[in-house]
């Protein structure tokens, strides 16, 4: 990982501000952009750590994009970094929504705006598919059976059986904690035997 500057607040703010301003379609759309910026370009976070941060952000209450920004900001620069990234992530939507609400009546009936929004839906679907593929590839690279079974089981429960997503998240959390405890216990025993 490349060494970051002493106080990377400006980079954190501008990165999250620009990503948030150019991202439409919800939290899952911003995740690959955050990865590209902080993992691939700046090398402040490694890929596995980014996957872990996304998992934590998903299981925390609140918008995914803001949760992910908080975790990244905190990881890079502590509490001030988290505050800076929250500000950078929240300001663009706040400004855009404020402007749109001022002109809501004009936007509501405009055919061009309606067509643009329909076109954006297609782009958002492609970006979400990209996130799913990249995250699944990260899970498959671990070469462990349990994460793959959990991933496939969660998909089947949610998409095919209609199980509530909150229940899926809670079940995954319990399975993950149990797996971590079992593996750390086995590692402890292996270390004690040596």
- Cβ distance 107 to 96 under 8 Å? no
- Cβ distance 40 to 18 under 8 Å? no
The predicted-structure confidence for 43-75, as pLDDT tens digits, reads as follows 999 888 988 888 888 888 888 889 999 999 999
How many CB atoms are located within 10 Å of the residue 67 CB? 21
Could you give the CA distance from residue 128 to residue 119 in angstroms, rounded to a whole number?
A: 15
Q: How many residues does the chain have?
A: 194
Token look-up 């199980």 returns 163
Cβ-count burial 21-46 (b if 16+ within 10 Å, e if not): eebeeebbbbbbbbbebbbeebebbe
What does pTM read for this prediction?
0.59
User: How would you write the pLDDT of the chain (194 residues) with one tens digit per residue?
Assistant: 555 556 799 999 999 999 998 887 767 788 888 889 999 999 999 888 988 888 888 888 888 889 999 999 999 999 999 999 999 999 999 998 888 788 776 776 778 877 887 888 888 788 778 877 887 887 788 778 888 888 889 989 988 999 998 899 899 889 989 988 998 888 877 655 54
């Amino acid at each position: 990982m490349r060494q970051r500057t002493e106080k990377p607040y400006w980079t954190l703010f501008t990165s999250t501000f620009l990503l948030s301003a150019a991202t439409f379609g919800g939290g899952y759309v911003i995740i690959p952009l955050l990865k590209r910026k902080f993992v691939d370009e700046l090398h402040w976070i490694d890929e596995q750590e980014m996957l872990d941060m996304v998992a934590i952000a998903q299981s925390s209450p609140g918008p995914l994009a803001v949760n992910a920004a908080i975790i990244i900001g905190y990881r890079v620069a502590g509490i001030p970094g988290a505050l800076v990234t929250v500000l950078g992530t929240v300001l663009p939507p706040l400004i855009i929504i404020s402007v749109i609400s001022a002109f809501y009546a004009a936007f509501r009936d405009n055919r061009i705006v309606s067509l643009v929004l329909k076109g954006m839906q297609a782009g958002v679907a492609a970006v979400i598919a990209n996130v799913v593929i990249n995250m699944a590839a990260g899970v498959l690279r671990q070469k462990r059976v349990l994460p793959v079974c959990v991933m496939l089981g969660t998909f089947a429960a949610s998409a095919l059986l209609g199980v509530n997503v909150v229940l899926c998240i809670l079940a995954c959390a319990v399975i993950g904690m149990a797996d971590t405890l079992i593996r750390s216990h086995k590692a402890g025993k292996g270390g004690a035997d040596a």
